[in-house]
Amino acid sequence: MPQQAETIINQWPLHAVDGGYEMVPFKVYTQRDLDKIEPLQKLSEAMRFEMKVVSSVLPFRVNQYVIDELIDWDNVPADPMFQLTFPQRGMLSAEHYDTIAKLIQDGADKATLAAAVNEVRQALNPHPADQMEMNMPLDDEGNRLDGMQHKYRETVLFFPSQGQTCHAYCTFCFRWAQFVGDKELRIAASEASTLHDYLKAHTEVTDLLFTGGDPMVMKTKHLAAYLEPLLEPEFDHIQTIRIGTKALTFWPHRFLGAEDAGELIDLLTRMVRAGKHVAVMGHYNHWKEMDTDAARAAIRAIRSTGAVIRAQGPLIAHINDDPDVWAKMWKMQVKLGIIPYYMFVERDTGARGYFEVPLERAWEIYREAMQQVSGLARTARGPSMSASPGKVEVQGVTEIKGEKVFVLRFIQGRNPDWIQRPFFAKYNPDATWLHHLEPAFGEEKFFFEDEYEAIRDERIDAAQT
């Protein structure tokens, strides 16, 4: 279960006052602290109870910066930042909600409640796209290397154990299973040597992505222990180092006045000057996330190192399912020197029933947003599904020989030969994910399916032996 509110005294950020910054603590609230969040007292008792029920199943964590700077409390519950960070009843199915609500109301003991919560979590597809079965690499002896994923030839994902939390949690997060305290569901590695040994042995890898959680919750000295060895000659094949983070939204002071913020900026600078392409993969869901003084100052600080900030995020109902929101966000990102990178489709996990948008509507939103921006913002690819076979982009809906179809292509694939190959699916207005689609024109299978199944069988067999 989540821990009580905490004040992290080793991160003392700076708050803007007359062009300077004064010291303020980082204060975080979890599920047990809902009653301590002052603005929530203005909401109905019924709504607060709903939050308690949902946050018993799905992770909840928010900090004072988000509460004070990002949420318009006069627009709650419709405010997108509120929807992004606070539990909503619709995030659970009616059946699951009623089960947990009744146990809480009846005063069920911890063991009974925990068993029911675990059953609901298992029904929410905690690890989508076969990531536990197919993406985990093996060492020379065939042992699974926990804390890494190697799905695509050029790219390795690494989950440092010190970075397996976030400054606040997104309600839609597809990695929600990392944060519920169940070791069986968690992906993490604590040994830097495991990562470095694997990269030495796999010179086909050019891109390394640090992910989580959020690596930016780590102390700089821990991050440096993973990164600095990559400057040695034996890692010359690692050209790009990506760091996935929501800190630019949820705690921009991490780059401004945290105890080791200066060391972090220096580390990024040294990585760039040593010849690595450093990409900070900023997760943005709404333009409001960039509309504070601290957020913009943090962006400037990172750009001063020579690192590039790329923006990505899913299209999600209740938060950004509006082309005007995406157009404004992309325009603001370009103005601030951020490169729009991806519009994702909400993954088939967790609270997907509340957040998912039909693929046709996702494409319409993408298209209508693109029509409003210049070429500099049209670097954003999408809508893209990060499915088990690969990243599949919805390129449009059209009619071919009298049949209405989805036009699709692989942006990335388990087999590089699939990339950029167009293929077609029967039109389905209700489809929200790849597995809802069927081949068009009377075909029995999509072109990649037989090969994908062979790859899947091989990977799963290897993981089980």
Where is average pLDDT lowest: 3-12, 251-260, 303-312, 378-387?
A: 3-12
Give a yes or no: residue 461 inside a domain. Answer: no
Q: Find the domain containing 105 and state its range.
A: 6-122
Contact between residue 105 and residue 435 where contact means Cβ atoms under 8 Å apart: no
Residues 286, 81: Cα–Cα separation, whole Å: 8
Q: What is the per-residue pLDDT for 1? A: 37
The helix or strand, by DSSP H or E, that contains position 112, with its residue range, turns out to be helix 110-122
Residue 180 has pLDDT above 90, yes or no: no
- The contacts found for 149-155 with CB under 8 angstroms, 24 or more apart, are 149/187, 150/202, 150/205, 151/414, 152/390, 152/412, 152/413, 152/414, 153/204, 153/205, 153/416, 154/204, 154/205, 154/206, 154/207, 155/205, 155/206, 155/207, 155/208, 155/209
Give a yes or no: residue 223 inside a domain. Answer: no
Q: What is the per-residue pLDDT for 190? A: 60
Residue 8 has pLDDT above 50, yes or no: no
Give a yes or no: residue 45 inside a domain. Answer: yes
Take residue 299 and report the two structure tokens written for it.
């962006």
Better pLDDT: 454 or 191: 454
Give a yes or no: residue 23 inside a domain. Answer: yes
Give a yes or no: residue 96 inside a domain. Answer: yes
> Could you tell me the pLDDT band of residue 126, with boundaries at 50, 70 and 90?
confident
Q: Order the strands of the 308-315 sheet from edge to edge.
A: 148-152, 155-158, 207-210, 240-245, 277-283, 308-315, 339-345, 381-386, 390-400, 403-413, 422-426
Residue 226 has pLDDT above 70, yes or no: yes
Residues 146, 143: Cα–Cα separation, whole Å: 9
- DSSP-assigned beta bridge partners for residue 308: 279
Number of domains in the chain: 1
Q: Tell me the pLDDT tens digit for each residue of 240-249.
A: 999 999 999 9
Give a yes or no: residue 30 inside a domain. Answer: yes
For β-strands 381-386 and 339-345, DSSP reports them as parallel
- DSSP-assigned beta bridge partners for residue 25: none
Q: Of 62, 58, 70, which is closest to residue 30 (Cα–Cα)?
A: 62
Give a yes or no: residue 397 inside a domain. Answer: no
Residue 69 has pLDDT above 90, yes or no: yes
Take residue 333 and report the two structure tokens written for it.
């990102």
Residue 89 CA: distances (Å) to CA of 12, 41, 54: 35, 17, 6
Could you identify the residue written with the tokens 């690499």?
137
Give a yes or no: residue 216 inside a domain. Answer: no
